[in-house]
Amino acid sequence: MPYVPTKEILDDANKKYYGVGAFNINNLEFLQAIIEAAEEENSPVIIETSEGAIKYAGKGNIERGVRFFYELVKNYGDHSKVPVSLHLDHGKDFAKIVACIKGGYGSVMIDASDQPFEGNLNATKKIVEIAHAVGIGVEAELGTLKGIEDNVAAAESVLVNTDEAREFVEKTGVDFLAPAIGTSHGAFKFKGAAKLDFDRLKKVKEENGIPLVLHGASSVPPEQIELANQYGADIKGAKGVPFETLEESVKYGINKVNTDTDLRITFIAAVRKFLKETPGAIDPRKVFDPAIDAMKEIIKARMKCLGSSNKA
């Protein structure tokens, strides 16, 4: 299977009611884990990079960062047994979004969700015009997610307004929509039970019909938190979206399931364990290998949960 446009992957998922994992990467090792997992599960997969990841890869040179990820993912995709696409996650900066469109990404997200409705609509419309001219799909977000990341910060979440969603999709022509329904980025998503607003989700799906995206979808596996803490981390009160809640989200219309934190935690836990147990280690490949294997298992479990296994 070749490297494909994201729309191809998500249109199939939308038609057949399953979810596809969109996994964030910053480096080669995360990509290796994702591609191997996808091949073993015979699952389509979306690789995504934030603006921060592009900056990191290019050491501040955006074109270089875009080229790095495009060439890496295109090469892996073209030689893999499953459909693989590359997506820009949380694009905020016009020039960077355009650099990804020009640079071969299979889709981009314009995240102007921190702006008032009209501002979000106009910014999204502009990117849709540019991206559609070259056949690239666009994701946008309505409502805001709580959480602090490199480039994504909001103190409180504001859930999607379903009337606005209808107007937004109609006027922008956006391909995929991320409605805020109660998740947040990072490892600390819920104080009590994990509760999402499925009524809003169902309404957005019924009224718009396009592929929907769940941000902040990591499950934050307790055993990975425990392992990290056992080997020197200090992560307390972490809680993610349980698998049953992900399954329900997919049933009500989510097709793209964004996952970053789970791989970060799993990677760090495995690296901490290896370094503690192998004080003489100096070969980075030996340090990263167990982390790749551990991430692979986490990814495979998510693919099974979302229903994308054997859909390639």
Beta bridge partners of 214: 257
CB 54 → ligand G3H: shortest distance, Å? Answer: 9
Residue 191: strand, helix, or coil: coil
DSSP H or E segment with residue 275: helix 261-277
The partner in contact with residue 228, picked from ligand 13P, Zn ion, ligand G3H, none with C-beta cut-offs of 5 to 8 angstroms by kind, is none
Please identify which residue in 26, 218, 249, 308 interacts with ligand 13P, judged by CB under 6 A.
218
Stretch (H or E) spanning 123? helix 117-133
Question: In angstroms, what is the minimal distance from the CB of 151 to Zn ion?
Answer: 10
Q: Are 47 and 71 spatial neighbours (Cβ–Cβ below 8 Å)?
A: no
| Nearest approach, Cβ of residue 281 and ligand G3H (Å) | 27
Quick one: which segment of 56-64, 74-82, 213-221, 299-307 binds ligand 13P (CB under 6 A)? Answer: 213-221
Angle between helix axes 198-208 and 243-251 (nearest 10 degrees) is: 30
Stretch touching ligand 13P by CB under 6 A, among 122-130, 165-173, 255-263, 298-306: 255-263
Q: Which of 149, 164, 247, 293 binds ligand G3H (CB under 6 A)?
A: 149
Give the separation between CA 215 and CA 22, rounded to whole angstroms.
10
Among 42, 151, 157, 229, binds ligand G3H (CB under 6 A): 151
End-to-end CA distance of the chain: 9
Phi, psi of 83 (to 5 degrees): -70, 130
Centroid of chain to Cα 21: 7
| Backbone phi, psi, residue 44, to 5° | -65, 155
Q: Is 89 labeled as catalytic in the residue annotation?
A: yes
Q: Which one of 205, 215, 273, 300 is in contact with ligand 13P (CB under 6 A)?
A: 215
Question: What is the C-alpha separation between 55 and 16, in angstroms, rounded?
Answer: 36
Could you give the string, one character per residue 158-187, with x where binding to ligand 13P holds by CB under 6 A and - elsewhere?
---------------------------xx-
In the set 26, 224, 261, 309, which binds ligand 13P (CB under 6 A)?
A: 261
Give the position of tokens 């979810």.
Answer: 19
| Integer-rounded Cα radius of gyration of the chain | 18
Query: Which residues have a Cβ under 8 Å from the Cβ of 105 and sit 6 or more positions away?
Result: 66, 70, 86, 87, 88, 136
Residue 52 interacts with which of ligand G3H, ligand 13P, Zn ion, none, CB < 5 to 8 Å by class: ligand G3H
Q: Based on CB atoms, which residue is closest to ligand 13P, 7 or 215?
A: 215
The site for Zn ion, by CB under 5 A, has a size of: 2
Q: Residues 41, 51, 89, 175: which binds ligand 13P (CB under 6 A)?
A: 89
Shortest separation between residue 157's beta carbon and ligand 13P, angstroms? 13
| Residue 189 near Zn ion by CB under 5 A | no
Spot the catalytic one: 11, 12, 89, 150: 89
- Please tell me whether residue 113 binds ligand 13P under the rule CB under 6 A: no
Is 139 in contact with 87 (CB distance < 8 Å)?
Answer: yes
Q: What are the catalytic residues?
A: 89
Contacting residues toward ligand G3H, per CB under 6 A:
24, 50, 52-53, 89-90, 149-152, 185, 260
